[in-house]
Structure 1
């Protein structure tokens, strides 16, 4: 009897302690569950244990957001162009950019309220510390991810509004978009800006199949498209002493009073007239690349891989070289890629033109969508310093879609260089015939030229005229 009574207090104490531990465990699980519920379905914790009105509103908003994301994802799988249209719409980007910080603040408030609903004051000290740590981590992760996403959206929107700020769209001509690509070079030792790289990318509006036409900068006596300012000033062609194709830009800026004030860049407009007169192509848009800023873009995407055919000197003619690019498969950084595309030491303009096209096609095929997403901030920053264009934002989705299609297709290359075309006495009828022939091949109306098989030839002439530029580089 006395033995039983002596054991009863201890048994009761153990039982009470066990009940208290179970209660502590239940309170901890409840507190953690409320936080996890808020992470997965914001508002659900309030709906279960708090202000049901707030919970219903938050959960309804969350379900709407999830539905929107699913619709966008499915729509993107069905029609990629539709997704690109959404991603390049400045108004929509503004709405998303403003909504994301609001969502971040709301989510943090819901997480903090879920922690409060877990009754932290009744938790044991170590359990309370654990819930505080988890709540803090969840707030930082969710808010940080949303605020960083808002920053990226703002960067993308600013890039679109800064670079693609033209308003007039141009319809394709004969089923193709013809984009004038100019490599601008305006160093301290040069008088004005003289485009040293002049190319036309002719892009099929359906397939993205691209033909790259290259014009030598020192082409003489160039004609101009009828009806333009330059044709009125030079009805017999640009036949003044020392007047080369790349000098058209400078001449126009020296006589800009000849153009209407609404013309944004008279040099580009004059160069368009020259290129249209030479090739017979109607130019839809132009893109001016700052060659010095090109280094930033290459560095932003992690470099570009090029198969270097021979040793390239990094430096100007008559100056001490800053280094060399050795033969073989090389991943070039921005500075190396710039010199690979620009160097004329131990080479001529035509070899340089070939290398420039190799860099362009390498960038086209190596710049993946995932890389763009991961490096969007660096690419946008470099792009604003690099690119000037009259492509409007409304057409951006079209050209992104065409660029993605072009990645899987060969890029043809045609350069109007000696011996076929003499720069001092060009045969412009022959040039237009070559343009028509190249476009017919690209559209499947003619068979590809025999001998243009991968890796058979790697000379400058092979790269200047090729049915598959990538295989010739």
Structure 2
């Protein structure tokens, strides 16, 4: 930055303070003013380039929080940005210190030295604090991405930004809700849904699988298939598969080298059982789900009937309610005075509400809280390279997509003796029905893809049985699907 050299004879404390302050706002002014033209010009030029770059970034990201989230999800970019912020902050503070050094009067008295030092410290803090916050955010994002997302998978081609889904028209993701706790052994996946997403239109079919499905078939040729051979297959409920594999991954896991062998195996088991190619899973530990909802500011729901919950006799009252994280957790998990299928219906609603109401601006402004909750709560085998594509898909789903749900529950599915061929047919029909109806603008609010509304519940005038002759004991229970057509979630979740 040039030598200090001979100070101008008119140097005063006031002028030095003003020039130091001005140089903190526009780095290089003090150097230019004191005759160090080359150093001053270089600093001014660098400042102009950085200012223009920052302005371009703001314009690029303004009004597009989803794009900001995509940038946050890129680990390598975060590392480069962190290094750049650190370098700029150090250079800026160096310029501030040097500006005071070259402008202060000489010799300087105690008051001048104290005043100058105080100003320099304050100006450096003004630079360091926001830079530190930016570094902390970048580090937190990088750490969160590393902790939550899985590694690149050798069985998939390299990620292509122009074709992130490798030519696939739908992406199927297994959504698991695990209920662990100090008073429970291991983890049971009491919530299991497959989200089948159309990558062009953003339409979603949620396939809900009851936790008490029995005789689930195991993938052919796997160690699980040998351990639980046909015709009886697995001797526990579907929600026991995860913990069973977790206790003996080397003996039972389809891929014992996976990040989470139990979740990976359950993904493959359910894929074969319902006849869908499930590419990824996402496991949410319900113990921390309330933190996630709090981080996005809570959710608005409609409750038809009061929902009792907890140990103290609390109740979620009927009506339009804004739920905080703890209330949303119980909205999705309570079975008091209801059953598994009612809970399944509310869990589908919960996904719809969060997808529609998770404002990207709120996500960014509550990023630290959300990142911390995400690390504690969520894990997935989605690779880091796909994170940006999934953010784009989530934005498409929340803005344009329609939600339909197919609950594999009684009366159309006998959970004790499920007909897996029939189940695969139900799933195929639900997905095909949604695809046949695209695109259309004359559908109901919750189903912009134009899927037909569900048929009226069978059983009326049929002695309490559906058209197939199966008992329809609770046809009006919310969440219990009656009939084989996938229902619009707007009907179930107003």
Calculate the TM-score normalised by the size of structure 2: 0.78
Deviation at 1:135, TM superposition (A): 6.0
Q: 3-state SS of the aligned residue for 1:183?
A: strand
Match of 2:262 among 262, 267, 278: 267
Cα shift at 1:373: 1.1
Question: Alpha-carbon deviations, 1:321-367, whole Å to 9, x = none?
Answer: 35211112222222221111111110000000111121222111221
Residue 434 of structure 2 corresponds to residue 442 of structure 1: yes
In structure 1, the partner of 2:367 is 376
2:418 is the alignment partner of 1:426: yes
SS at 1:347's partner residue?
coil
Match of 2:463 in 1: none
Q: Deviations over 1:6-59 (max 9, x none)?
A: xxxxxxxxxxxxxxxxx99x99689546634541x3224323335334323333
| 255-264 or 332-341, which deviates more | 255-264
Distance 1:244 1:233 in 2: 15
Contact preservation (8 Å) 1:218, 1:423? yes
Q: Which has the larger radius of gyration?
A: 1
Q: 1 CA distance for matches of 2:491 and 2:47?
A: 47
Distance 2:33 2:111 in 1: 25
CA deviation string 1:104-139 (max 9, x = no partner): 23223323444555557899x999999988766544
Mapped to 2, the partners of 1:146 and 1:69 lie a distance apart of 14
The reply on whether 1:35 has 2:29 as its aligned counterpart is no
Cα gap change, 1:281/1:172 in structure 2, threshold over 3 Å: closer, same or farther? farther
Residues 66 and 208 (structure 1 numbering): CA distance in 2 closer, same or farther, change over 3 Å? farther
Q: Does structure 2 conserve the Cα–Cα contact (< 8 Å) formed by 1:300 and 1:378? A: yes
Q: Do the aligned partners of residues 72 and 312 (structure 1) sit closer, same or farther apart at CA in structure 2, a change above 3 Å counting? A: same
Is the 1:195–1:217 contact (alpha carbons within 8 Å) kept by the matching residues of 2? yes
Deviation at 1:68, TM superposition (A): 3.5
Task: Return the offset for 1:288.
Answer: 0.9
Deviates more, 1:397-406 or 1:55-64: 55-64
Count of aligned positions: 441
Does residue 136 of structure 2 align to residue 151 of structure 1?
yes
Match of 1:196 among 190, 197, 200: 190
Q: Which one of the candidate residues 72, 82, 90 is aligned to 2:75?
A: 90
Label 1:38 to 1:448 Cα distance change in 2 as closer, same or farther (>3 A): same
Please identify, of 30-39 and 150-159, the stretch whose mean Cα deviation from structure 2 is larger. Answer: 30-39
Query: What displacement does 1:239 show?
Result: 3.7
User: Cα distance, 1:402 vs. partner?
Assistant: 0.9
Distance 1:301 1:94 in 2: 26
> Aligned pair in 2 of structure 1 residues 44, 413: CA closer, same or farther (>3 Å)?
farther
CA distance in 2, matches of 1:32, 1:435: 72
| Counterpart-to-counterpart distance in 1, 2:477 and 2:21 | 63
TM-score (norm 1): 0.81
- Structure holding more helix per residue: 1
> CA-atom RMSD, angstroms?
3.6
Question: In the alignment, which residue of structure 1 is the partner of 2:125?
Answer: 140
Contact 1:202 1:210 in 2 (8 A): yes
C-alpha distance 443-79 of structure 1, shift in aligned 2 (>3 A): farther
Alpha-carbon separation, structure 2, partners of 1:362 and 1:423: 28
Is 1:224 the equivalent of 2:218? Answer: yes
2:49 is the alignment partner of 1:64:
yes
Assess, with a 3 A threshold, how the Cα gap between structure 1 residues 340 and 273 changes in structure 2: closer, same or farther: same
Q: Determine the C-alpha separation between the residues in 2 that align with 1:305 and 1:83.
A: 25
Measure, in 1, the Cα distance between the counterparts of 2:329 and 2:210: 18
Partner SS, residue 195 of structure 1: strand
Select which of 289, 300, 305 maps to 2:300: 305
CA distance in 2, matches of 1:306, 1:237: 43
Q: Which residue of 2 aligns with 1:12?
A: none
Q: Distance in 2 between matches of 1:93 and 1:452?
A: 50
CA distance in 2, matches of 1:236, 1:192: 27
In structure 2, the partner of 1:341 is: 332
CA distance in 2, matches of 1:235, 1:252: 16
Q: C-alpha distance in 1, partners of 2:403/2:426?
A: 16
Partner of 2:467: none
Contact 1:225 1:274 in 2 (8 A): yes
Specify which of 254, 277, 283 is matched with residue 288 of structure 1: 283
Aligned to 2:462: none
Cα distance change of structure 1 residues 74 and 470 upon mapping to structure 2, 3 Å threshold? farther
Where do 1:74-473 residues align within 5 Å?
A: 85-115=70-100, 119=104, 137-168=122-153, 170=156, 171=165, 174-236=168-230, 239=233, 241=235, 243-256=236-249, 257-259=251-253, 261-315=256-310, 320-408=311-399, 409-445=401-437, 447-450=450-453, 459-461=478-480, 465-469=486-490, 472-473=493-494
- Of stretches 70-79 and 127-136 in structure 1, the one that deviates more from structure 2 is 127-136
How far 1:431 sits from its partner (Å)? 2.2
* CA deviation profile, 1:71-123 (whole Å, cap 9, x unmatched): 54565579998765543222221222233233223223323444555557899
Equivalent pair of 1:350/1:417 in contact (CA under 8 Å): yes
SS in 1 for 2:287: coil
Q: Distance in 1 between matches of 2:397 and 2:116?
A: 52
Greater shift, 347-356 or 461-470, is seen at: 461-470
